[in-house]
Amino acid sequence: MNCPHCNVALSGRKYRGIEIDHCPECRGLWLDFDEMELLEDGANRDEVLKGTRDYARRASELPCPHCGAMMDVFNYRAHNLPIEHCPNNHGYWLDKGEEERVLDLMKQRARDLRRSESAEQQWARFMERGGQRGGFLDRIKDLFR
């Protein structure tokens, strides 16, 4: 397979325990379809809910290194991170540094989900105790009774 940017032969290497193909010239990465899942899982082991991966899909000018079909590009998880994807589901092309942005975004998603879950648990405990009963507002109301 050749790099869709440089047309240089891609080389195999391990990245975070995943066997990927990379370009020695531009340092872009080719992730087979299931390797993107593995990359995301490496940043987000405890989370099952990843959400929708692709937003604002549009045509790309890059060919798939696997089959030569013109790839699509999308905004990764609604962020300003354009990633190319083979329309035949062969994989994803990540330009230099985009793999780290994917990892950072997945880590942030895990933190956000944990924070949301914690807030929901706190709200449930608050409501179990009777909402605002005995709280600041009830004390003020008691002053006027």
In this prediction, residue 49 carries a pLDDT of 59
123 domain-assigned: yes
In this prediction, residue 127 carries a pLDDT of 66
Tokens 């329309």 — which residue?
87
34 dihedral zone (left: phi>0; alpha: psi -120 to 50; beta): alpha
6 domain-assigned: no
Alpha helix positions (H), 67-97 = none
In 23-121, the DSSP E strands lie at 29-32, 54-63, 70-76, 82-85, 91-94
Residue-level pLDDT, tens digit, the chain, 145 residues:
999 999 999 999 999 889 999 999 999 999 998 898 888 887 665 555 566 787 889 999 999 999 999 999 999 988 899 999 999 999 999 999 999 998 888 888 777 777 766 666 677 666 666 665 556 666 666 667 6
1 domain-assigned: no
5 domain-assigned: no
In this prediction, residue 93 carries a pLDDT of 97
114 domain-assigned: yes
Contact 9, 73 (CB under 8 A): no
Contact 69, 62 (CB under 8 A): no
123 dihedral zone (left: phi>0; alpha: psi -120 to 50; beta): alpha
Q: Which domain holds residue 42?
A: 11-143
In this prediction, residue 51 carries a pLDDT of 65
2 domain-assigned: no
In this prediction, residue 106 carries a pLDDT of 82
Give CA separation, 14 vs 22, 32, 118, 127, 134, in Å.
Answer: 10, 13, 36, 50, 58
Question: pTM of the entire structure?
Answer: 0.73
Number of domains forming the structure of the chain: 1
